Amino acid sequence: MKQSRPAPDIWLFVCIVSLLAIGMVMVYSAGAVLAFHEYGDSYYFVKRQLLFAGLGLVAMYFTARTDYRIWRKYAKVVLLICLALLVAVLIPGIGVVRGGARSWLGISSFGIQPSEFMKLGMILFLSQWLSRPDYDISSFTRGLLPPLGLMGLAFGLIMLQPDLGTGTVMMGASMLIVFTAGARMKHLGLLALSGAAGFAALIAAAPYRLQRITAFLDPWSDPLGAG
């Protein structure tokens, strides 16, 4: 007899829709004037965001209805594809430079960011890898260092673009997987201190990143520029 699927988590769905709605408001608030000036439509960016939000909800529906064992089966293949795309985007003539970063693949206005797919690929692979019954995440050298090395490789490729924001999100999500897998708090604490120091160094190494921090703290110091 076919086993019935559990009902979806309504509160998780409510949280997702709420975040999407808040995002729409923020997009309109931040881009309405620019959208009207550039395109004659204050809702130009909101419409684009709404389109991608709709595509995301459709993808979420089909993903939720897919047996998780399928994702486990293809997790390694997905990760290898994502790594290959991260390398490809760094090759001149293949990767497209936008906003000062070589982080796009595509033609004309259509493009994808391989680093965005890496976030999902890394989560899938780490979940499959660290959930093995024989994997001992409590060991620093045999259990924790291997996934850290893989995460560091992906982060390094993303930083070559460079894209600190996406790299930070990927590392944060990956560390949550490591925490959930049962890593020792002593190890995680040391990694957190090292990560904070490295993050501060990366910000200080690029003036535009530091400018973003100062503009966030005091946007009215340069309202027509960094603010």
Question: What confidence tens digit (pLDDT) does each residue in 10-57 have?
Answer: 898 899 999 999 999 999 998 888 888 888 888 999 998 999 899 999
Residue 112 confidence (pLDDT): 79
Q: What is the percent of the chain with per-residue pLDDT over 90, rounded to a whole number? A: 38
Q: What is the pLDDT of residues 178-215, one digit of tens each?
A: 999 999 999 999 888 988 888 888 877 777 777 777 77
Res. 162: pLDDT tops 50: yes
Q: Is the pLDDT of residue 1 over 50?
A: no
Quote the pTM value. Answer: 0.77
pLDDT recorded at residue 110: 66
DSSP the chain: -PPPPPPP-HHHHHHHHHHHHHHHHHHHHHHHHHHHHHHS-TTHHHHHHHHHHHHHHHHHHHHHTS-HHHHHHHHHHHHHHHHHHHHHTTSBTTEEEETTEEEEEEETTEEE-HHHHHHHHHHHHHHHHHT-TT--TT-IIIIIHHHHHHHHHHHHHHHTTT-HHHHHHHHHHHHHHHHHTT--HHHHHHHHHHHHHHHHHHHHHSHHHHHHHHHHH-GGGSTTTT-
Report domain extents, the chain: 8-65, 68-183
Give yes or no for residue 2 having a pLDDT over 70.
no
